[in-house]
Structure 1
Amino acid sequence: MKNASPLERQLRSNITGDVLFDRFSRGRYATDASFYQILPLGVVVPRTMDEALRALSIARDEGRIVTPRGGGTSQCGQTVNEGLVVDFSKHLNRLLSLDVENRTCVVEPGIVLDDLNRQLRKHGLWFPVDVSTASRATIGGMAGNNSCGGRSLRYGTMRDNTLSMDAALADSTLLHFGEVPRDLARVNSPQSGLELFRDMLDLGEREAAEVAERFPKVQRRVGGYNLDALVPRNAPNNLAHLLVGSEGTLAFTTQVELKLWPVIRNKVLGVCHFGSFYEAMDAAQHLVKLRPIAVELVDRTMIALGRDIAMFKPVIEATVRGDPDALLIVEFAEEDQPDNLQKLKQLSELMADLGFGWNHPQRKWGGVVDVVEPARQTAIADFRTSGLNVMMSMKQEGKPVSFVEDCAVPLPHLADYTERLNAIFARHGTRGTMYAHASEGCLHVRPVLNLKLEKDVKAMRAIAEEAFEMVREYKGSHSGEHGDGLVRSEFHEAMFGARIVADFREVKQRFDPDNLLNPGKIVDPPRMDDRSLFRYRPDYRVSELKTALDWSAYPGAGGGFQGAVEMCNNNGACRKLEGGVMCPSYRATRNEKDVTRGRANTLRLAISGQLGPDALASDEMMETLKLCVSCKACRHECPTGVDMAKMKIEVLATRAEKRGLSLRDRLVGYLPRYVELASRFAPLANWRNSSPLLRALFEKFAGISAKRALPAFRRDVFRPDAETYGASDGREVVLFADTFNRAYERENLDAALRVLIEAGYRVHIPRPADRARPLCCGRTFLSAGLVDQARRELNRLVTTYAPFAARGVPIIGLEPSCLLTLRDELLSLRSDNEAKSIGAHALLFEEFLVREAEAGRLKLPLGAISGKALIHGHCHQKSFGAFKPVEKVLRLVPELSVEAIESSCCGMAGAFGYGADTYEASMEMAELSLLPAVRCAEAATLIVADGTSCRHQIKDGTNRAPLHVARVLAMSLDSAQVKH
């Protein structure tokens, strides 16, 4: 506090929530999903709405501007500014009231759309402005942007579904904005509010003719202030609609009243294929005549990129026929499913009438693929809503840039508009990506540019001017969904005329005379191409980095480490609270610091010198990465492919080289080197667990929590007495005996060996040539940043296993984090053919058995196990798509009912859960879903978890003893033997 500014002092004295003025925290709030970056003065994360209003008041008294912020996913720079940022998303996210009968609710502005709909669904209702960022978009942010979503064809925009808003003006006056009559005599409001309302209604009356003349006649017009809400023809006028789309520039929203709709009960999709993009755009105007609720575009680029993303590849392979240039996904959602099926039939007939047919010599290539299965519909929806981020997954310096992103034109002009737009892109030496809402003439269009280059910034400016001129020619809107922000506000005069822009300025002045609320948006903006406001400013530089891992797949300094870091476009998918695994630490803390996006931003600022010298190895960077559990979920679930687990290894390696290792890092990292010795003195080595004094000393000097018992060493470690087991004529496999199962839970290896032998395989457990110690994958060394030590271990493993891989022998492992190291980190340490061959032949135990079963080769005499198995998947299994085989192999056991727990990371994550400074976060992660689900399970239920750390976390948190799948299969073999 000694060096704190008066503003910071006042905030800390009056706010119990987070008050963040350090450079690292400010940097994390300097960007949104746009290409802009403005470092704020500070950040407040209020616990209550009173605290939020107190922060507003304090900032006003100090003469500082204030920017409200939700999920920070704005694509036009709406949520970045130089003053105080107030983050509503962590605490101000409640459903305040719900009227089921009248289908309305009142919410705080920080509530996330998906979270709201989860709470509404049990009442048969939902809020249907279904933006693609629904997993992290807040209602306040959606109101600020006047969001639309994919189904606005039926449900309208945010404005159409907002009934009222309560908000504070910049002077802290609290007002209710809702429907008011033109005669305000009966309106119950403070005098200052009545004066404001009267001035706005007078403005609407005065400007009604100009508004009618200049406002585009398309539903997707979200630019400027909604002056049309004030004109007499719309009486009674809803003044909340003036706040909708105002981007936090007029008032500080405290609550929003929403209109709700019945949930969709049935739906079907028709995936229309087109041989040319123009044909798809031209067809859209005809397809909407069937009254679908959405028509969404997916273009050739998005299909190609999706095929390279693990989470999307299966649905593309199952749905896309041939090599289309574009798809239109047509969605029908009538109340009765037979009506939807009839609509699908009509869709196919309409496509035929339009001249499309599959490989018909007299027709244009194309047709319809019907999608009736809910699971595939969900997968397609996930792919479509990830369109922006799929486009951003290009591993190159140039990326699709949002600035003519969501122009909207009348549907009959859509084909010509897109064709001319592509010609503009070509004229400026680039190409564009297109996807999204063909049903309303609003496409998400992004030219591929590298905004680090002055020539590409100039091209952006020229493209914007030409594209917007064309939009005006078609009487469309240059902002059809994502608002104005810093990108489009500059062009309002060309769109609306000088008189309307003067009206916008009058509205802003009347609401916020001192220009304190998010200035520079809508009114008096800077130039959109002012590079001093860019994320990549003219002086942006990244020095050459000496990296420990291979980053050659990415562009940029450090052998591509820079490019890997810059893959994060701030889309915020890592902020989702349910579904998948990413990001477990954020789910526990809700802090921007602890989300993948926050970490990636910090890394980018660090490597570009914006956080001071040596920031990459700093204590602040370690604090930023501290709660990253290296679950690898982002590797699989981040639509742009940000791999924070791999980046963390790189940072830890830098830290270790410059600052050395802590005692805890040494104990964890070198575990494979001393575990054999410790096993010989197991009672002494385990003394720490039974001694409160030793627990306390370990916590003080090694940072290992006294609240945890460490895994117990044992004398009877797994030491095979031969290198080959099983039938001499059996199919060969290699069993990888990892450190954890070998030293702590040999029962799992014994069970796996037995299963493989009884299935008729010839099992090799080869020893390394040096015989110095058993083989190891180097996982623990990587977790401490000891990359060279990990490489040495992996070199021994490659030398030992390479002859087997060369002749196609599967390499089977039990511990996901160890076995999958051979498919991941090994290839970042060695790129030779031997390493690639081992990675290609490395399989988890369940993956191998399921593959054999599906090929008809698995001969395993399994007996019945009556009851239920409840499975928790290891994060790395989920990241590599290797969790489903666990369920499949357990379903081979007769009479066993199998159910997967919907869970994120267990929270133990190797050594993470044992840290004195991470123990609490570890337990918070576990308590989100995993431990409650286990506690609810009946005593006879088998709890199954393949991960060593997962099993220990479940045991510590519930006193239940989970089993590895191998042991369940061994139990099934026992059952079969007893029966016979």
Structure 2
Amino acid sequence: MAAEAAEKSRKSAQRDAQAGAQASALATRLAREITGEVLFDAFSRGRYATDASFYQIMPLGVVVPRSMDEALRALAIGRDEGRIVTPRGGGTSQCGQTINDGLVVDFSKHLNRILSLDVEGRSCVVEPGIVLDDLNRQLKKHGLWFPVDVSTASRATIGGMAGNNSCGGRSLRYGTMRDNTLSMEAALADGTLMRFSEVPRDLADVNASDPARALFRDMLDLGAREAGEIAERFPKVQRRVGGYNLDALVPRNAPNNMAHLLVGSEGTLAFTTKVELKLWPVIRNKVLGVCHFGSFYEAMDAAQHLVKLKPIAVELVDRTMIALGREIAMFRPIIGAAIKGDPDAVLVVEFAEEDQADNLQRLKQLTELMGDLGFGWDNDKRKWGGVVEITEPALQSGIADFRAAGLNVMMSMKEAGKPVSFVEDCAVPLPHLADYTARLNEVFARHGTSGTMYAHASEGCLHVRPVLNLKLEKDVKAMRAIAEEAFAMVREYKGSHSGEHGDGLVRSEFHETMFGPRLVADFREVKHRFDPGNVLNPGKIVDAPNMDDRSLFRYSPDYRVDELKTRLDWSAYPGAGGGFQGAVEMCNNNGACRKLEGGVMCPSYRATRDEKDVTRGRANTLRLAISGQLGPDALTSDEMMETLKLCVSCKACRHECPTGVDMAKMKIEVLAARVASNGLTLRDRLVGYLPRYAGLAARFAPPVNLRNRSRLLRKLFERFSGISARRALPAFRRDVFTPPAVVVGPENGREVVLFTDTFNRIYERENLDAALRVLSAGRYRVHLPKPVSGSRPLCCGRTFLSAGLVDEARAELDRLVAAFAPFAARGVPIIGLEPSCLLTLRDELMSLRTDDDAKAVSAQAFTFEEFLVREAKGGLLQLRLAPLADKALVHGHCHQKSFGAFTPVQQALRLIPELEVETVESSCCGMAGAFGYGADTYDASIEMAELSLLPAVRNADKHTLIVADGTSCRHQIHDGTQREALHVARVIAMSIARAQPNSTISSVVKDPTHG
């Protein structure tokens, strides 16, 4: 046995060595012949080994071409070298379409332009890598949009949508991707370029010398030959996206559109180079009716009646999704406004006719129809069957965002089991929807689980996901059994087992039972005619592996994570290693972090467009590293540091990732492991220990600041410390902030504690002076506590955390808690000026200490603006404020946005009379503490700032106040524009200084959305 094992190991090593040599030869040739990125290292390959499905296949390598010619060259090289090639867009496929073990070609970074636009004819031609939201942003100014509005619109590419025949929530009105694709240009596997569009059956319009003619002839002949079988076996539902679209080839009165054969082909037939799209006028008016139901069955049964009012969408939200949404801060107010009582399910009905009066009339009819169906308020059961009418655009957008995040809301369950996609988008005729879902729930129960259901009730296509743990063999077997039983039911109801997300690795295996052996043979004929060498993305649609082949799973049978010694508290997550593993595995690859506008996440990706620099890419790398798939010591390797290098710890993912991936916290854990393994660099020491030496440096400020004035010293300092010579460091000053007393203000004033953080104390004492003036003017009794032990000023440990020095950070927080806890126990607010420091008390403190004192300090921690706004709302803030300027342009600190603390900034500024407050729609400023000072991160820092912040400041009128609470943000603004940005405390103090005796503040804070 030992000899056999040794021989097996030897042969395996020999095969690996041979494969490695072949990969090296391919990589060398690609790098020589194209200018785009050629990624063959294990870390890069790992980031492309998954999509939003539960599968994982490690590719041989990845190419990110700079032009379409380079993409086609990569295809040719891959073919010549005997390798399969898989095109990829946003990588958000839920069925495993975009993963394979050959060469992956990423179209999303560079091949994303609108090539032509015909406004009058309502059409455009685009490259396949363009993202749907980006396309619609460019079309909006022309009054047009592309309406296949998939929930992943912020990262789904048009090429990927065409590959899957995507549908979106409004397909009831607009149809599927196929219905809106006019033509496509594509290359066959052998490199032959063809145009696929409408052709007459005699092909009279196709030149005899065109290689497309013979291919089209064969396809049209196949359609004629199989017309009867297609009519008999293809499901008669709009949401039928399984198999190849052979029904596009059958004889008809109108021309056949050959592009429709490519739509839904999942990259298996041709390499798309251009897509011509049908465009529609933008929706100008709409209303929503949220219909409540006491039982899920009633909601499903009602759908067939509600569609008779001709809405453009009817979307389901079930009890589970409602409950999970209420736990997510960004969705809680939306659910509170739209959902009343305790419904088992709601149907969101959308009307969007051109005339708003028409929409309102239909909304009235909807309410009447619900009454006719017998739904009303039941006081005893707290079940309400009425309709909540939504006419406010902001709330409509919020509901749309919640529905679009449905999948990821479901995936936010912090449990080992997750809702799994495999019977996700079966479609059945509406009259059968209620019975189908009821029977499906019985199937789930029979196999020991339950499921979540939401989405497209108007089409009989629900997103159905049973909760399973695919690390367990028994749950994998349950998945197989559920799939077989569910698909049998779908066939019984003459529905489709693929209703939206395509086939991929999940459903292709089941085509024969759905379509019959004859049509599956036709599918193979089509594949072979287009791609006889089986080069393009094999294993999808035809000749697929078993869907439950665990060797292809993200969590394969040999998936293991050794116990990890963690420094932070991860108990909120499932899994080993104190839950760190569970936190990492929360990423389901949904790709929301790849959005380019809206919100804050993910600033580094917005600057580089590299998969390495997106939250998803980092989480995938962490998962592969802790499970040993990237080799020993991968977690603390240089490659891991490169992966995390551009993470600015903005915490946007903590707030905006639908599944709650907290990369900033994970980065602290990895940095701590790195420090334990490799020690500290000089740069880490300079950054981390700043609070310890800042006082001494301030005493010798002139010589310490000499570095900023000498080019030679800057260059030497960069060489030895890694701090960029292109960046001036904050200047130390001798007149650091020193508390005038332990207590400032009237004895009978309401008590507060002012947290004097290191940055404002050492570098910008004006902000602390201003805060004291404001609080004193408001007649507050301000405590400035001294440390309980030692003479060093109090610190939150922020800089230590950024260097991975968790023990030092804990020591600082221990000192701070000891000083602040007596006040917190009495309910005294703790007010801070620097967002990253103050909010450390609401975040990292709770990951380092869970005792009552720490909890009390955390609960009483408020930003300066949060405190003022709270007091004003309670009628307790009496300040004399005078007009100061016409306008303030405000940039929000990332941590303020992550913790919902930015709205109070706007509200606080609006306390100043006559001041118009405008917000910069910005992501991270790019400075991010020490990040912007790094020699290796300076360029990325500037790129992030130039996305929106710096241009907005440059365009501002010279009399406009520039406001930013973050120390780093103010420095970035100054460095990039030479404009001075002010902390809100200074702005309000300036207003007080100008105030007249009769100018008193109202105790009511205006809603910032209403100015």
TM range (shorter): over 0.9
AA aligned to 1:812 is I
Alignment partner, residue 666 of structure 2: 647
Q: Following superposition of structure 1 onto structure 2, how do residues 919-958 of structure 1 map, counting pairs within 5 Å?
A: 919-958=938-977
Deviations 1:544-586 (A, max 9, x none): 0000100001111110000000000000000000000000000
The aligned counterpart of 2:688 is 669
Please say which of residues 642-651 and 862-871 is displaced more in the overlay. 862-871
- Residues 803-852 of structure 1 show CA distances to partners (whole Å, capped at 9, x for unaligned) of 11101111000000000000000000001111111111100000010111
The structure 2 residue matched to 1:409, chosen from 428, 450, 456, is: 428
Residue among 794, 799, 803 paired with 1:775: 794
1:39 aligns with 2:32: no
Equivalent residue for 1:456, pick from 463, 475, 478? 475
1:661-700 maps to which residues of 2 (within 5 A)?
A: 661-700=680-719
Shift in Å at residue 308 of structure 1?
A: 1.1
Matched residue type, 1:229: A
Give the stretch that moved more between structures: 630-639 or 282-291: 282-291
Secondary structure, counterpart of 1:13 in structure 2: helix
Go from structure 1 to structure 2 and tell me whether the alpha carbon gap of 1:659 and 1:109 turns closer, same or farther (over 3 Å shift): same
Q: Between 864-873 and 190-199, report the one with greater CA deviation.
A: 190-199
Q: Does 1:895 align with 2:914?
A: yes
Distance in structure 2 (CA, Å) of the matches to 1:853 and 1:191: 75
Aligned residue for 1:726?
A: 745
Q: Is contact 1:164–1:240 with CA below 8 Å preserved after alignment?
A: yes
Local SS of the residue matching 1:5:
helix
Residues in 2 aligned to 1:790 and 1:307: alpha-carbon distance in whole angstroms: 33
2:580 aligned with 1:580, yes or no? no
Which residue of structure 1 aligns with residue 362 of structure 2? 343
Change (3 A) 1:594 1:257: same
Report deviation, 1:366: 1.3
Is the 8 Å Cα contact of residues 108 and 256 (structure 1) preserved in structure 2? yes
2:178 pairs with one of 155, 159, 170:
159
| Amino acid aligned to 1:772 | S
TM-score by length of 1: 0.99
Whole-Å Cα distance in 2 between the matches of residues 949 and 877 of structure 1? Answer: 13
1:24 to 26, 35, 43: 43
On the 8 A contact 1:617/1:655 being kept in 2, the answer is yes
For residues 617 and 644 of structure 2, what CA distance do their matches in structure 1 show?
Answer: 10
- Larger displacement relative to structure 2 (615-624 or 183-192): 183-192
Give distance in 2, aligned partners of 1:856 and 1:124: 46
SS in 2 for 1:603: helix
Structure 1 residue 977 displacement after superposition: 4.8
- 3-state SS of 1:792 partner: helix
**Match of residue 600 from structure 1:** 619
CA contact (8 A) 2:883 2:991 kept: yes
In 2, Cα distance between equivalents of 1:961 and 1:224: 60
Identity across the alignment (%): 82
Following the alignment from structure 1 to structure 2, what is the Cα–Cα distance between the partners of residues 191 and 109?
24
- Indicate conservation of the 8 Å contact 2:286/2:352, yes or no: yes
In 1, are the aligned partners of 2:885 and 2:961 still within 8 Å (CA)? no
Residue 401 of structure 2 corresponds to residue 373 of structure 1: no
Deviations along 1:316-373, one digit per CA (max 9) or x if unpaired, are 1222111111111111101111111111111111111111112367997411111111
1:242 counterpart = 2:261: yes
3-state SS of paired residue (1:184)? coil
TM, length-normalised to structure 2 = 0.96
CA contact (8 A) 1:592 1:598 kept: yes
Aligned equivalents of 1:299, 1:476: Cα separation in 2: 22
Give 1:66's aligned amino acid: V
Q: Distance in 1 between matches of 2:383 and 2:688?
A: 62
Secondary structure, aligned partner of 1:770: coil
- Partners of 1:314 and 1:820 in 2: CA distance: 22
Q: Tell me if the contact between 1:356 and 1:364 (Cα under 8 Å) persists in the aligned partners.
A: no
RMSD of aligned Cα (Å)? 1.2
* Paired letter, 1:573: A
Pick one of 179, 187, 205 that aligns with 1:186: 205
Residue pair 1:357, 1:363 contacting (<8 A) in 2 also: no
Letter in 1 for 2:59: P
| More divergent stretch after superposition (721-730 vs 34-43) | 721-730
Separation in 2 of the partners of 1:743 and 1:362? Answer: 61
Residue 659 of structure 1 and its aligned partner are, at CA, apart by: 0.2
CA–CA separation in structure 2 for the residues paired with 1:408 and 1:470: 11
Match of 1:854 in 2: 873
Deviates more, 1:722-731 or 1:957-966: 722-731
Whether contact under 8 Å (1:355, 1:363) holds in the other structure is no
Q: CA contact under 8 A between 2:199 and 2:205: conserved in structure 1?
A: no
How far, CA to CA, are the matches of 1:573 and 1:276 in structure 2? 32
Residue 356 of structure 1 contacts residue 363 of structure 1 at CA under 8 Å; is this kept in 2? no
Residue 500 of structure 1 is matched in structure 2 by 519
Letter paired with 1:810: P
Deviation (angstroms), 1:771 = 3.7
Amino acid at match of 1:157: T
Q: 2:96 aligns with which of 61, 74, 77?
A: 77
Q: Which amino acid aligns with 1:886?
A: V
Assess, with a 3 A threshold, how the Cα gap between structure 1 residues 234 and 403 changes in structure 2: closer, same or farther. farther
| Equivalent AA in structure 1 for residue 187 of structure 2 | A
Aligned to 2:510: 491
Hey, what's the Cα distance between the residues in 2 that align with 1:335 and 1:432? 38
1: CA distance, partners of 2:205 / 2:660: 57
Q: Give the Cα–Cα distance (whole angstroms) in 2 for the partners of residues 190 and 902 of structure 1.
A: 54
Deviation digits for residues 279-324 of structure 1, max 9, x if unmatched?
A: 1111111111111100011111111111111211121122211111
What do residues 211-247 of structure 1 show as CA deviations (whole Å, max 9, x unaligned)?
0000000000000000000000264100000000000
Of 116, 133, 141, which residue of structure 1 is paired with 2:160?
141
**In structure 2, C-alpha distance between the alignment counterparts of 1:665 and 1:357, rounded to whole Å:** 64
- Structure 2 partner of 1:86: 105
Amino acid at match of 2:823: F
| Cα distance in 2 for residues equivalent to 1:327 and 1:185 | 53
Q: Name 2:774's counterpart in structure 1.
A: 755
**Which residue in 1 is equivalent to 2:891?**
872
Q: Using the alignment, how far apart are the partners of 1:38 and 1:717 within structure 2?
A: 57
* Matched-pair contact (CA < 8 Å) for 2:926–2:943: yes
Contact 2:723/2:934, CA 8 A, preserved across alignment: yes
Amino acid at match of 2:160: G
Q: Which moved more, 1:270-279 or 1:97-106?
A: 270-279
Flag structure 2 segments of 5+ consecutive residues without an equivalent. 1-19, 1000-1011
Which of residues 298, 301, 313 is equivalent to 2:320?
Answer: 301
For the structure 1 residues 763 and 189, does the alpha-carbon distance in structure 2 shift closer, same or farther, using more than 3 Å as the test?
A: farther
Partner residue, 1:837: 856
Provide the residue aligned with 1:418 in structure 2. 437
Name the CA distance, whole Å, in 1 between partners of 2:164 and 2:22.
Answer: 37
Q: In the alignment, which residue of structure 2 is the partner of 1:611?
A: 630
Deviates most, 259-268 or 367-376 = 367-376
Shift in Å, 1:429 = 0.2
SS for the counterpart of 1:356 is coil
Match of 2:121 in 1: 102
Larger deviation, residues 436-445 vs 299-308: 299-308
Q: CA deviation at 1:978?
A: 9.1
Distance 1:695 1:405, change over 3 A: same
SS at match of 2:889: strand
Q: Give 2:540's match in structure 1, choosing from 509, 521, 530.
A: 521
Equivalent-residue separation in structure 1 for 2:214 and 2:157 (angstroms): 31
Matches of 1:940 and 1:830, distance apart in 2: 46
Matches of 2:252 and 2:905, distance apart in 1 = 63
For the Cα contact (< 8 Å) 1:126–1:261, is it kept in 2? yes
Tell me, in whole angstroms, the C-alpha distance in 1 between the residues paired with 2:383 and 2:416.
Answer: 37
Report how far residue 866 of structure 1 moved: 3.1
Deviation of the 1:504 alpha carbon: 0.2
With 166-175 and 688-697 compared, the bigger mean Cα shift is at 688-697
Partner residue, 2:13 = none
Q: Counterpart in 1 of 2:14?
A: none
Distance across 1 between alignment mates of 2:252 and 2:147: 27
Structure 2 counterpart of 1:689, one-letter code: N
Match of 1:563 in 2: 582
Measured after TM superposition, the shift of residue 772 of structure 1 is 2.0
- How far is the alpha carbon of 1:865 from its aligned partner? 1.5
Mapped contact 2:342–2:382 kept (Cα < 8 A):
no
Equivalent in the alignment of 2:87: 68
Counterparts in 2 of 1:316-395, with a 5 A limit?
Answer: 316-359=335-378, 365-395=384-414
- After TM superposition, give the deviation of residue 188 of structure 1 in Å: 3.4
